[in-house]
Structure 1
Amino acid sequence: MGVDVGGQDASWRRAAEEWFVQRLHEKGDFAAFVADEPELGVVSSAVGTCDRHAPGPANLSGLHGHVFNISTDPRRRRLGYARACLDVLLAWYRDETDVGVINLNATPRRPEPLPLPRLRRPALPRPPTPVAPVPQPARPQPARP
C-alpha cells in the first residue's frame, strides 16, 4: 500500500507467487477474481481470504473476510474493472462462505473513496449493484494456478 515494490527481480515477488499458487489449490477460504483483456492480459484483480475468529452475537460463524490486492493496470483505470472484480468477490463471500464481517484496507493515495455498502451479514444476500458497466470482453474470472 503505497510502498516501492522494486523491480521484476525483487525477492518478495517469488515468495508471493508461491503463496498465491498454494492458496489457489486450497478450496473454501480463498478466492481471486481477475479482469482480463486479450491484448494486455490481466488488467485488474480483487482477492479475498476467510479468517477464523471467535463467534460473537453479530457473527455466529466467527468468519471474517479480508479483501486485498484490488488493483488495476494504470492504462485501464476508471473503466469499472476493479469494481466488477470486487462485486464478484463480494458475491463469493455471500454465496459460498459463512463470512459475517468483511474487512478492507485501502491505501490513502486513492484519489476518491470507493462507494461501498455497509457489509454486515444482513446486507450480503442482496446482489451487488454495478457502479458502471464493464466493457466487454473483460469478465471477472477465478484466477487459475
Structure 2
Amino acid sequence: MSVRSAISEDIPELVRLRQILADRMAVDGSYPIDDDWHVSYAESLQERLGTQDTAVYVVDAPEGGLAACGIGLIFDRFPGPSLPDGRYGYIQGMTTDPGHRRRGYGRAIMVTLMDWYRDRNIRRIDLHATSDAEPLYRELGFADDGYPSLTWRSPS
C-alpha cells in the first residue's frame, strides 16, 4: 500500500468517498444536507488540488478506484499567544471505503497528513471525528482542548 497525492482524475472517487462519510456522520449527529453539494465539492477539489494550503492524499483500491482519502487544509487567523503565526490546520474528509477498512489505509493517510503539517510548521490541527475514527485520532495525539466546540448554522 502506498499513499499518494490525489490528481484531477480522482475527483469522482473523492466525491463518492465523501458521500460515504456524509452518510456515516449522519449517524452520529444531525445536520442539514444540501442536495447540490456534490457539484460544489468537485469544483472546489479541482480548484484546490496542488495548491500550497491543501493536501489531498489517497490510497488506491487494488481493484481500481480509491480505497481511502483524507484532506489537509491550512488556514490563517490573527496571531495569538498559542498560535504565534496564526496558521492552523484542519483535517477533513478522512474516509475509507467500507470494503477496505481495518487495513491501515486511514492511519497511513493520517501519518502522511501529519508529516505534511509538520513540514510546514503547523502547530495546531483540528478535526471532527466520527465515533468509529475517534480512537485512531486520539492514538495519534488528538485530544479535547478544554474549550467547547460550538457551531452556528443559518436556519435557512
Q: 2:18 aligns to what?
A: none
User: What residue is the counterpart of 1:61 in the other structure?
Assistant: 85
What whole-Å deviation, never above 9, does each CA across 1:13-72 have from its counterpart, x for those lacking one? 1111001100114x2111010001241321101101111111122321110100011100
Counterpart in the other structure of 2:114: 90
What CA distance in whole angstroms lies between the structure 2 residues aligned with 1:58 and 1:112?
Answer: 24
Pairing 1:13–2:38 present: yes
Aligned letter for 2:88? H
User: What are the residue-to-residue correspondences of 1:67-82 with 2, within 5 Å?
Assistant: 67-82=91-106
| Structure-2 separation of matches of 1:113 and 1:58 | 26
Q: TM-score, normalised by structure 2?
A: 0.64
* C-alpha distance in 1 between matches for 2:134 and 2:87: 29
State the AA in 2 paired with 1:113.
Answer: P
Detail structure 1 runs of 4+ shifted over 4 Å in the superposition.
none
| 1:33 counterpart (48, 57, 66) | 57
- Going from structure 1 to structure 2, the CA distance change for 1:50 and 1:111 (only over 3 Å counts) comes to closer
Cα RMSD after superposing both structures: 2.1
Aligned position for 1:46: 70
Runs (5+) with no aligned partner, structure 1: 5-9, 120-145
Specify the SS of the correspondent of 1:113. Answer: helix
* Contact residue 65 and residue 99 of structure 1 kept, 8 A: yes
Q: Distance in 2 between matches of 1:67 and 1:111?
A: 13
Structure 2: distance between partners of 1:112 and 1:102: 15
The answer for the alignment partner of 1:104 in structure 2 is: 127
The share of aligned pairs that are identical, in percent, is 35
- Report the secondary structure of 1:65's partner residue: strand
Query: How many equivalent residue pairs?
Result: 111
Inter-partner Cα distance in structure 2 for 1:19 and 1:41: 20
TM-score, normalised on structure 1? Answer: 0.69
Q: Greater RCO between the two (CA within 8 Å, min separation 6)?
A: 1
